[in-house]
Amino acid sequence: MLGKYQNGDVLSIPVTDDKTAFAQVVEKLHGNVLLAVFSELVGVDDSRDVEALELDEPIFLLETMDLRITDGIWSVIGNREVSEGISAPEYKVWVNPPGEFRIQDIRGNLGAAISPQRASGMKLHKSFSPAVVEAALRGFHGFGPWRPAFDELAF
């Protein structure tokens, strides 16, 4: 049976055989999910009260496929409101014609035109595989290499 999930669900993501990290579903998308991933590591057998977790300052904010959630590899351990400081980012996209940068939301909708200067400080809309999320967590915690591509996941 495929696992179901919703906005606000807190997930347990395996980092090593005996350590897990936490993530929270910021926004459920069609086949993808916007995740806030947090730095705290706990033992796989440690139980945690979801309300007591520090979920205000993620290390990563990214879009990824929901495959690990629906397969139960990233298990849902509870649900709570997403912190007000965490929201879906706006991205930049080049629209030709007319040859300008525009804002793009997490769902791909285009918004207002923006200056090249503003666009230079914004990210392009990308999605990362669940394996990249797991590798970045291992790298962050010193259980594997840190790759320059992981910098794109930073909050």
What's the mean pLDDT in 83-90? 96
Q: How many CB atoms lie within 10 A of CB 153?
A: 22
Q: How far apart are CA 133 and CA 37, in angstroms?
A: 9
105 within some domain: no
Q: How far apart are CA 9 and CA 50, in angstroms?
A: 10
Number of structural domains found in the chain: 1
104 within some domain: no
For all residues of the chain together, what is the average pLDDT?
A: 95
pLDDT in tens, 31-56: 999 999 999 999 998 888 999 999 99
User: By three-state DSSP, how is residue 103 classified?
Assistant: strand
14 within some domain: yes
pLDDT in tens, 20-31: 999 999 999 989
